[in-house]
Amino acid sequence: MLPPTNRCAKRRNHTSLLAGVLAALLLFVTGTAQAIPAYARQTGAACADCHAGAYGPALTPYGMRFKLGGYTDTDGKGTKIPLALQLTETHSNPARGDSSTTLSEGDLYLAGRLTDQVGGFVKVEADHTGHNTYNTKLSSVDLRFVAKELKIGGKDTLFGISVNNSPGFNDPISALPSASFLGPAGITGSLLNPSSPNSLANRVIGATAYALYDDNWYGEAGTYRSLPTSQQDHLGYNIGGDPGRLRDTAYGRFAYMKDMKKQFFSAGVVGLTTKRQLPRSGPSDDIVDLGYDLTYQYLGNRDHIVQLAYVNILEKRDYGSTPLIGGVLARDKGIVHDQTMTVTYTFKQTYGLTFTHFKSTGSRDLARFGPSGDPDTTTNLISLYWAPFGKDDSYTSIANLKLAATWFRFSRFAGREDDIFFAPPGTQRTDARDLNAFSISASIAF
Amino acid sequence: MSLSNRFYLALFALVAGGLATPATRAGDAAAGKDVFKSECAECHAVAEGRNKKGPSLFGIVGRKAGSVAGYDYSDALKQSPWTWTTEQLHTYLSQPAKKANPGTKMKYDGLDDAKDLDNLISYLETLH
């Protein structure tokens, strides 16, 4: 534990970290990739064909194939306008602080096919930032070229190229944190987790080549580089979240997936390696992420759908320097360990209940991880929702509404349950549960 | 021909004729609806005129293959002489679609479970 004289500096760091954590929580509320009505209009399919809950986000095996195919499937009835809109009104009730009701987010999706081989997904997002102002930013991007219906060794094979701005966002299984937007929020985290401080999500650009062999074997490899801070600024991002300069970055993914119509399972591994300078004028850290993920879906006749996913990512860091922070020398190596377990039950693709358990742990570092030196953070997300439309037999199958009640629960933050910021005597202390938040949201997409 | 011989001939003809008649596929349409939801519904709607990646299956039994208005069929299916009788559907759906109709756009590996297939076809017969 730090000497008392150094805790003030650490407390200031934690205040900014808290802001980052709460911002990351907003990702969970509205930032998840949802069913895109433009795709429904393009394919003639209902939202519920690709998503277990008709509003999304969890993909069915059919939705995975649509994504793998570069968003190019069509009902053959000519060109459709590849635009969709989403508006979200949120009532937020944090455990500490004022409640608020705002039009929290507006999204424009440019999503659809250009040709049989070229399609994409681009999201432009306007987030409420208070005082009736909104920040507009370029959110997720995934542009694809695909070559379908090839044969290798007599087996169906698909090849594709994806240009995207978040490693893992384009993953077909969509269990990786960048695709599900379900990653532990905390004072640190892996590069593959978009909820980590200074994450890569939407601030990098890269290309990956992928292949699906015999409908079951998926492989992908590619590279990324971070956008210059000036471009991040132009695209709507605060440069305080810059992921730093990346060199020698490689991303790889391999997975086996099996669609048995009434059931589905997958097992995969993922890796990312890079040399990162953060700040950009600073020394270079060697970072390696290695992870695995397991998923299972019971789909049956779609009346009762159960989906399970577990993701485990270990990040190894060799720091390029050991700075003295607050009088404490930082360590030269460290590990960060992100784990996410999600269970979702969906009834008639209309009512859903999701429970997610997040655990972020890592090696102790008094200089880098605040007063306790312990980054361990444990959180839960519980969400209950109703999505009445978007099915073949509903009022409309190509537009949708979602009402959701969501509860975030912190049971541990920065290694502590109580007094997480080491409040001086006589001042208000903050416990982990004070970060809890409850929200009710209404979203429409058309 | 004696009367008894005629009787035996008639009996033979009756039995032989009965054997030559295709066996009735007694499926459970309600169970077939569940099979449809897991095997077919992503690409086919049952509402009249509603085409998805595949054509509407409203009125499929008894319909000429490749005949739904407004759906862009493959040449292979447009040129097919088939009518979707229950027997033709059984033959088509019990094997990979690209084997049954080379050149088709339909991607389907076939339904191995005979009971599920009978149930599915019984459900398709109700779509009128």
Of A49, A74, A300, the CB nearest to B42: A49
State pTM to two decimals.
0.88
Cβ–Cβ below 8 Å for A392 and B47: yes
* CB–CB contact A44 B41 (8 Å): no
B112 — contact with chain A (CB < 8 Å)? no
Q: DSSP state, B53?
A: S
**Which of A44, A262, A299 comes nearest B53 by C-beta?**
A44
Residue A254 phi/psi, 5-degree rounding, is: -145, 135
Q: Cα dist. B107→A65, A122, B96, B101 in Å?
A: 12, 28, 8, 11
Distance of alpha carbon A310 from alpha carbon A182, whole angstroms: 11
- Check residue A381 and give its pLDDT: 95
> For position A152, what pLDDT does the model report?
94
Locate A401 and state its tokens: 């509404």
Distance CA A66, CA A50 (A): 8
- What is residue A395's predicted lDDT score, i.e. its pLDDT? 82
Are residues A302 and B41, on separate chains, in Cβ contact within 8 Å?
yes
Establish if A342 touches chain B: CB-CB under 8 angstroms: no
Instruction: Kindly list the structural domains of chain A, giving each domain's residue range(s) and its CATH number in brackets, ordered by start.
Output: 4-445 (2.40.160.10)
Query: Region B50-64: what's the mean pLDDT?
Result: 93
Check CB contact of A302 with chain B, cutoff 8 Å.
yes
Residue A302 to residue B45, Cβ atoms within 8 A: no
**Contacting residues of B for A45, CB less than 8 Å apart:** 42-43, 52-53
DSSP string, B69-126: TT----HHHHT---B--HHHHHHHHTS-HHHHSTT-S--------HHHHHHHHHHHHT
How far is the C-alpha of A14 from the C-alpha of A420, rounded, in Å? 9
Q: Do A262 and B37 touch (CB under 8 A)?
A: no
Q: What is the pLDDT of residue A32?
A: 55
Tokens representing A218? Answer: 């998926």
Distance, in Å, from the CA atom of B53 to the CA atom of B106, rounded to the nearest integer, reads 9
- Is residue A394 less than 8 Å (CB to CB) from chain B? no
- CB-closest option in B39, B46, B72 to A76: B72
pLDDT at A272: 98
Q: How many Cα atoms sit within 13 Å of A76 on the Cβ side?
A: 14
Amino acid at A104: S
Q: In the predicted model, is pLDDT for residue B68 greater than 80?
A: yes
Q: Which of A259, A179, A260 is nearest to A220 (CA)?
A: A179
Task: Note down pLDDT in tens along chain A; length 446 residues.
Answer: 334 444 444 444 555 555 555 555 555 544 455 678 999 999 989 999 999 999 988 999 999 999 999 999 998 887 888 999 999 999 999 999 899 999 999 999 999 999 999 999 999 999 998 888 999 999 999 999 999 989 999 899 999 999 999 999 999 999 999 999 888 888 899 999 999 999 999 999 999 999 999 999 999 999 999 999 999 999 999 999 999 999 999 999 999 999 999 999 999 999 999 999 999 999 999 999 999 999 999 999 999 999 999 999 999 999 999 988 888 999 999 999 999 999 999 999 999 999 999 999 999 999 998 888 999 999 999 999 999 999 888 888 778 999 999 999 999 999 999 999 899 999 999 999 999 999 999 999 99
Q: How far is the alpha carbon of A180 from chain B, nearest alpha carbon, in Å?
A: 22
Residues in chain B, total: 128
CA atoms within 13 A on the CB side of A294: 4
Nearest CA in chain B to A299: B38
Asked if B38 and A76 come within 8 Å (Cβ–Cβ), the reply is no
Please name the residues in contact with A339: beta carbons below 8 A apart, sequence gap of 6 or more: A184, A310, A311, A312, A313, A358, A359, A360, A361
User: Distance from CA of residue A174 to its chain's centroid?
Assistant: 9
Q: Closest partner residue to A44 among B33, B34, B51, by Cβ?
A: B51
3-class secondary structure, A101: strand
C-alpha pair distances (Å), A50 with each of A122, A397, A398, B92: 18, 12, 12, 26
Nearest to B42 among A62, A75, A262 (CB): A62
- Tell me: pLDDT of B26 over 90: no
**Which tens digit of pLDDT belongs to each residue from B28-52?**
999 999 999 999 999 999 999 889 9
Domains of chain B with CATH codes: 26-125 (1.10.760.10)
Residues of chain A contacting B41 with CB distance shorter than 8 Å: 49, 302, 392
Percent of chain B with pLDDT over 70: 80
Residue B5: band (very low, low, confident or very high) from pLDDT cuts 50, 70, 90: low
Rounded CA separation A405/A394 (Å) = 22
Residue count (chain A): 446
Of B39, B53, B72, the CB nearest to A73: B53
Question: What is the rounded (10 degree) CA torsion for A294, A297, A298, A304?
Answer: 130
Q: Which two tokens stand for residue B104?
A: 């088709």
Return the ∠ at Cα A123 (arms to A293 and A202), rounded to 5°.
60
Would you call A302 and B38 a contact, using CB atoms and an 8 Å cutoff?
A: yes
Closest CA to A433 of A420, A415, A423: A420
Higher pLDDT, B35 or B26: B35
